[in-house]
Amino acid sequence: MNNTNLIKLNILIIFLLFSSLAQSQNKYPQYYFRSPVDFPIKLSGTFGELRTDHFHSGIDIKTNGKQGKFIYAIADGYVSRIKVSPTGFGKAIYITHPNGYVSVYAHLKKYNKKIEKFVRAKQYEHELFAIQIFPKKNEFPVTKGEIIALSGNSGGSDGPHLHFEIRETKTECPVNPLLFGIKVKDYIRPKIKTLKVYPLNKNSRVNDSITPVEYKIAGWGLKHYIENNDTIHVSGEIAFGIQTYDLLNDVNNKNGVYSVKLFVDSMLYYSHNLEKFSFNESRYINSFIDYKEFKLNKKRIQKSFIEPNNRLSIYDSTVNRGRIIFSDSLYHNITYVIEDVKNNSSELSFVVKSNINHNIDSIVQDSSFISQHIFLYNTENRFEQDDIKIYFPENCFYNSFDFVYKESESIEGVFSKVHHIHNEYTPVHRRFNISIRTDSLPEFLRGKAIIVRLNKNDDLRAKGGKWKNGFITAKVREFGRYTVVVDTIAPEIKPLNIHNKKNIYNYKTIKIKIIDDLSGIKFYRGTMNDKWILMEYDAKNDLLTYFIDDRMKKGKNHFKLEVKDERDNISVYKAVLDY
């Protein structure tokens, strides 16, 4: 590329970057919302960040590793939803604002006194810890800057922090909160780590390879480059992918970037940005990334091409869905531009040499697999043999592919053959039905049987299922190895700070672990003197906590805990406690 063309390309890139981000920011009010906290925001997670099976729907605000920080309403409004869960968002509160947005505050420790009292009364009324409430519009009005809760670590949180979102009221789509003028210190450009080049069909090559080729990326700041490589030789239909992350001031976290643009000879060939998305499209992340690379190496390569059944709305502009045909014998200039939401950008530029296509030999597959079924992504697909039936609804996959299957003999402790359903490196979007024959299952164990997925080291992951007419059927969402086992072992109850006849006069809580190693906890119920008590369930730590209240009387108290798993195995713990 000569200097004149290079200058033109840089001018075009700068114009596109600033105009697209400016348009996004102009859509949203810049001074309407205040911060949800009263200290400088440092992020451990950004909006749209790549997570397992989903895009991150908000920002994660650090609380210095502590719980109990004040959380504030970001604007006037009313509490429209309250949810308490042992997983997911844990304790969360939703505030509807008059300007068309809803703010969400999750992983809380507790609500303010008024809301906490209301929630607790509902929990006792329904005798449930996990609860969802939709207060009336005038029941809990809030003003901008009002304390609504204390930060915590509830639900699926990996550590104390505030998960914060802004959603559109009408669509319920989450929008990037940093587009609303919420201040975060960020003067650091994104980092580019890996480039991956994909030959997309049997007549495509990358450096004479019929398989994808990875390149390590060096550089820092604005300019990045391929290590130890000047020119990549390509032919046929080719696509690119990139591993990148964003850095912010004063934190070490590797966060998600805002936008990725790919230019081919000054032409914008691919572009996406994480302004907003819909929850019902979040699982398309498994098509957005190189799923096989993630499964093998835990590396998230963002593909700059779009598979046929990838319906993400985050794509701005693509030519031929990002698939580039190199059929001449010329040199081509490729440029990636990566940007964070604060206008910091980085570039990766490299050259490819296009060559005339070559024919290649057919690919040899493992002969131990049955490979006779082409599965189309946009139709229903079925596979049946004597010992297995599988039904896939339409749009279950992101691309059409050649389905493979094999079976192996039973292993110790299982009640069916082991069924190898395709491979774990191909993502599945929708749940599908799997039915496994269980001829060796005794009648008295039918209610205890469960389909499991065998992970590495034959680790069991329960998938449920019901027995009918010699088969157990369950809905699953992953390829892999499946078989049938039975769960006859009741959950384990481990009191942590009590035992029978213990005096707990100075105690504020009772803590008990409940553990089930297979089908999972289905139900628990704690009572004190035959009356239901609120025991908060922290599923990630298998922990039940009872904050002692007026159900505990002076003198002797009769405590009982019943725990049931998904196969109705029951454990009961009883203790007389002095108070």
pLDDT of residue 12: 54
pLDDT of residue 10: 54
Do β-strands 418-421 and 502-503 pair in parallel, antiparallel, or remain unpaired?
unpaired
Contact 67, 150 (CB under 8 A): yes
Which contacts qualify for 58-61: CB closer than 8 Å, 24 or more apart? 58/104, 58/106, 58/163, 58/164, 58/165, 58/166, 58/174, 58/177, 59/163, 59/164, 59/165, 59/177, 59/178, 60/161, 60/162, 60/163, 60/164, 61/36, 61/37, 61/161, 61/162, 61/163, 61/164
Contact 269, 318 (CB under 8 A): yes
CATH of domain 370-486: 2.60.220.30
pLDDT digits (tens, 9 = 90+) for 211-231: 999 999 999 889 999 998 779
pLDDT of residue 19: 52
Query: CA-CA distance, 187 to 194, in Å (whole number)?
Result: 22
Per DSSP, the three-state class of 534 is coil
Q: How many CA atoms, within 13 angstroms, populate the side-chain half-sphere of residue 227?
A: 12
Mean pLDDT for back-to-back runs of 10 residues, the chain (579 residues): 50 53 73 97 97 98 97 98 98 98 98 98 98 96 98 97 98 98 96 97 94 95 90 96 96 96 96 97 98 96 98 94 95 97 96 77 42 86 96 97 92 92 97 95 95 90 95 97 97 98 96 97 97 98 97 96 98 97
Query: CA-CA distance, 91 to 108, in Å (whole number)?
Result: 5
- Domain borders along the chain are 3-16+187-354, 43-180, 370-486, 492-578
The pair phi, psi for residue 109, each rounded to 5°, is -85, -50
By CB atoms closer than 10 A (0-12, 13-18, 19+), residue 318 is: middle
Helices (H) then strands (E): counts for the chain: 4, 45
pLDDT digits (tens, 9 = 90+) for 427-464: 999 999 999 999 889 999 999 999 999 998 888 999 99
Q: Which residue has the tokens 């805990």?
A: 561
**Tokens describing residue 497:** 């700070």
Indicate the residue type of 390. Answer: I
pLDDT digits (tens, 9 = 90+) for 153-190: 999 999 999 999 999 999 999 999 999 999 999 999 99
CATH of domain 43-180: 2.70.70.10
pLDDT digits (tens, 9 = 90+) for 1-46: 454 454 455 555 555 555 555 555 578 999 999 999 999 999 999 9
pLDDT of residue 361: 41
Query: CA-CA distance, 47 to 33, in Å (whole number)?
Result: 17
Q: DSSP class of residue 13?
A: H
Contact 284, 311 (CB under 8 A): yes
Strand partners, 572: 562
pLDDT of residue 317: 83
- The answer as to CATH 2.60.40.1220 being correct for domain 492-578 is yes
